[in-house]
Every structure is written in structure tokens, then in C-alpha cells.
Chain A
Amino acid sequence: GQNIDQPTEMTATEGAIVQINCTYQTSGFNGLFWYQQHAGEAPTFLSYNVLDGLEEKGRFSSFLSRSKGYSYLLLKELQMKDSASYLCAVGSYNTDKLIFGTGTRLQVFP
């Protein structure tokens, strides 16, 4: 079957670095997505990994290891506006659906 695990909540300090982990199980892996969702708003796309390695985009980076079924989202130089839920989602060749994790709620404190 398909399964995604990520921590429920994390806290960090403004200016710090935080790593949000995601482990998954799926057949026909076709990419891993990270979305950011502020409270009361729709999720917005952050990153997409389909090959192993690190993808960097400004203060955000995402890493993928397909053999380990593992990804992480790295947020650097945290800002208060980074307080949000971060959703890990996996695509599969076998389906037109994305399987979403329950999300990690990140709180950034001054």
C-alpha cells in the first residue's frame, strides 16, 4: 500500500535552520512534492524531487533518497512568515492521485 509519515509539529527560532523529514512507501514512485499551507489558506507548491539528491531554491531545499523512501525539507534563515504547515506528497505512475502526509505544523518563535 501507500503510506507517508512526517512529524506532527515542530518549533524553531527565527534565523535558525529546521529540517522536516518525510518517509514514504509507494509503488511506481513518480516524484515527491512539498507544499506549504498557511492557516486557512490553500496549499502552495514548494518543491518537486524525482531524482535522488538535493534541490535548492532560495532559503528552501528539498532532498530525496528513493532507495530509502526518504525526503526532507530544509528551511534556512527562518522567518516568522515561515510558520505554516508543510505537506509531503508522493506521486505514483500507477495512479493519477497524490498521496499526502498529514502535514508538519511549524511554529517559528522570535
Chain B
Amino acid sequence: SQTIHQWPATLVQPVGSPLSLECTVEGTSNPNLYWYRQAAGRGLQLLFYSVGIGQISSEVPQNLSASRPQDRQFILSSKKLLLSDSGFYLCAWSGDRDNEQFFGPGTRLTVL
């Protein structure tokens, strides 16, 4: 069966510090991968998605970036965090069958 992992689960970082969040998927190959951010009490905002290694589509301009160094690994990064980067970051994957997405447990980021 397929599983999706995210770490860390929670993170508190000072403004201006770098960020690296990791997402890995097991039990499937060549998944589509997605990074979402959800601010408190708000909907899901799609940040990046990837249909293959090295292929990244950015949805919104921001100080975040994403990379896909391996087929089942998706990394979200920032060189300098802003207060507005605080939120709940969710990674998701989907296969070929349909658009159904499966979410990881999420990372709660607080920027102080």
C-alpha cells in the first residue's frame, strides 16, 4: 500500500532563517506531487506541483521554492522565512487513475 511521510511534524523558526520541509511517498512510482499551505481557518492554497523528477510548477509568487531530486521525494525550501510563511504545510500525491489526492500528515510551521 502507498504511504506518504512528512517531516518535521512541527517547526518553530525565526524570521530570516532558512527552511527545508521534506515529503516522501512509498508504494507507488512516478506520482504527481503537491505542496499546499493552509493558513489558520482558511482553505488550501496550492504552492507547487510536480509531474516528474526535476519538473516543478509554481502556482503563486513567493519566497518559497520546491525541488524533486528523486521520483518520490519532494522538498519545500526557503532561504529567508517571513512571518507570513507561518501555516500548515501539506504534501499530497496522486496517481494516473484520476485526480484523487492523498495527503501527508502535514507540518505546522510557526515563524516568530
Chain A residues with a Cβ under 8 A of chain B: 30-31, 33, 40-45, 48, 50, 87, 89, 91-92, 96-98, 100-103, 105
Contact = CB atoms under 8 A, between A and B. Distances in A.
A87 B43 contact: yes
Contacts of A44: 103
Given A42-B90, A87-B43, A96 B98 contact: no
B44 A87 contact: yes
Given A31-B100, A45-B100, A100-B44, 6 more contacts: A40-B108, A42-B105, A44-B103, A96-B32, A96-B99, A98-B101
Contacts, number: 54
Interface in B91-112: 94, 98-106, 108
B106 A42 contact: yes
B74 interface: no
The B contact surface, by secondary structure, is: strand
Given A96-B51, A100-B43, A31 B99 contact: yes
B68 to A, nearest CB: 13
